[in-house]
Structures are given as structure tokens and as C-alpha cells.
Homo-oligomer: A and B are copies of this chain.
Amino acid sequence: MATANTEKPAFAPIKTQRAFEVICEQIRAQLAAGTLKAGDKLPAERELAAQFQVSRSALREALRSLEVAGIIRNLKGVKGGAVIQSAEPDRIVQAMQDYVHLGDVTLDELTEARIAIQDIVVRLACERGTEAHFAELEQIAERTRAETSVEARYECAAAYYDVLARATGNRMFGIFVDSLSGVLHEFVQGPGYETLQETLIDSRFKLIRFLRARDAEAAAEEMRKHLERVYRHVRKNIKAQAGSGGARKA
């Protein structure tokens, strides 16, 4: 053995290129280059496997990877095959949920990030939102009041935040908001959630009024107070059930 350089190994970690990885890379590259775009259709598995000169198993693992990444959708039957999907933020939310479940992010971090993001969203929505947006928000808020089940009300809340994010005209904020509230939703499974609902719904209507008045400061302040209320409630529940198997790390 030659004497190892103690300073810096400088050896690139060997990267065994597996067949399915190469396939994924090639398809992703064509996607980034624009050769492939949403709606395009790939050949059938058997033919594609022949083109790549790999077995159908290896190709299927590649297609499966691309599918769970939300890039393609596999169609059955004759004239089937893989079609390039249009963009769906779901996978990003999924990735963030995985990240949180693997235990590196605390409730405090999630909440702080959410408050910061929503602050931006509210201010931009206040500036750029149209009356159509505000009307939609109002409609959702009224529907929330009508709903009774916790799950239905959460659906309404998600829709509310989604419209708010759309009002910014920037889809990236929608992604951030969806990700954070998707993850935080798991924490909001405690008792005494109903008692808070009246306050929360009032806050939504109040926010809409501020948005219509184009009062960014007041709107942002209202949203911040709202989120902090929810946070305090969630935090209390977390401590109550401290480590009962559910989402921990709070």
C-alpha cells in the first residue's frame, strides 16, 4: 500500500451507476433540455427496454422512480405507456413531509417558517389580489363556518390558504405554503380544536376586509396573530401527548 495522504484523500467516492439511474438521468436530461415536455408519450415498456438495451425489470424501476417523482404517469392497456405529467406540487409536499418525519425539523421551525412565508404572501396578495380572489376567499370562509367535521374544516383551510397564495401570482409561494401546512396538519390532531374554530373563522373574515382595503400592514398583522394562536394551541396539545407515538420532535 502506498502511504495515504493524510491531508486530503481527494478520492471521489465511487458511484456505482446502476442501470435505472442512468435511465432516469437521460429522461430527466431530455426534460431539462426541452426535448421532452408535458404531454409527450414514451414508448411501451418492452420497446423502451429494447431501446435502452436493458431488461424490463431495470426499466420498470426507472419508470417507477420517475412516477413517484411525479414526472410521468403510467397508462395501462393498448396504446398505453408513460406520459410526461404536467407539474404538480404534491411531490414537493411529500418530500417535505418525508424530511420532517425523518426527524430533522421541529414544530418551532415549521411554525416560524410558516409565519414568515405567510407574511410575504399576505402582503403580495394585498397588493396584487383581485376582487375575484377576495370573493373566493369569502366564499370559502363561509363554507368553513357551515362545515362541522374537523377534516372538512381543514380542507377549507387548505383551500383558503391556496387561494391566498394564488393571489400573489407566484406559484412558488403556493408550494411553500402547501408544504408547510401539509406537514403542520399532522400536528393539529388534538382535542379542543373545535373551541378555537370560531376565533379562526372570524380572523379569516377580518383578513379579507383588510385585503379589500389594501391595508397590507393590518392584513399581515392579522395573519401573524392568527398563526400564533394556532401555534400555541398545537404546542399545548403536543406537550399533552408528549411522545405518544404521533408526530414528535416538538
Contact at B91–A71, with CB atoms within 8 Å? no
Q: Which residues of A, 49-90, contact B by the 8 Å Cβ criterion? A: 57, 60-61, 64-65, 68-71, 84-89
Chain B residues lying within 8 Å of A192, measured Cβ to Cβ, are: none
A172 touches B113 (CB 8 A): yes
Complex Cα gap A98–B71 (Å): 7
> What separation, in Å, do the CA atoms of A37 and B104 have in the docked complex?
11
Give CA–CA (A95, B92) in the complex, Å. Answer: 5
Cβ–Cβ contact A68 & B69, under 8 A: yes
How many residues of chain A are within 8 Å of chain B by beta carbon? 56
| A85 cross-chain contacts in B, Cβ below 8 A | 102
Judged by a CB distance under 8 angstroms, whether A215 is at the interface is no
The answer to whether A98 touches B91 (Cβ under 8 A) is: yes
Whether A91 pairs with B99 at a CB distance below 8 angstroms is yes
Interface residue? A22 (CB, 8 A)? no
Inter-chain contacts of A113 with B (CB < 8 A): 170, 172-173, 176
Q: Which of A28-36, A130-138, A139-147, A150-158 has 4 or more CB atoms under 8 Å from chain B?
A: A28-36
User: A188 on the interface (CB 8 Å rule)?
Assistant: no
Cβ-based interface call for A103 (8 A):
yes
Does A163 belong to the interface (CB within 8 Å)?
no
Is the C-beta of A105 less than 8 angstroms from some C-beta in chain B?
Answer: yes
Cβ of A227 < 8 Å from any Cβ of B?
no
Q: Which of B38, B70, B112 contacts A170 (CB 8 A)?
A: B112
Q: Is A230 an interface residue (CB 8 A)?
A: no
Taking a contact as CB atoms under 8 Å apart, the answer to whether A102 and B116 are in contact is: no
Bound Cα distance from A84 to B70, whole angstroms: 22
A contact set with B: CB distance below 8 Å: 20, 24, 28, 31-35, 37-38, 57, 60-61, 64-65, 68-71, 84-89, 91-92, 94-96, 98-105, 109-110, 112-113, 116, 120, 170-173, 175-176, 180, 186, 245-248
Q: Would you give 17 A-B contacts (Cβ < 8 Å), ordered by A?
A: A24-B68, A61-B64, A69-B95, A69-B98, A71-B98, A85-B102, A86-B102, A87-B100, A87-B105, A91-B98, A92-B99, A104-B171, A112-B172, A113-B170, A113-B172, A113-B176, A172-B180
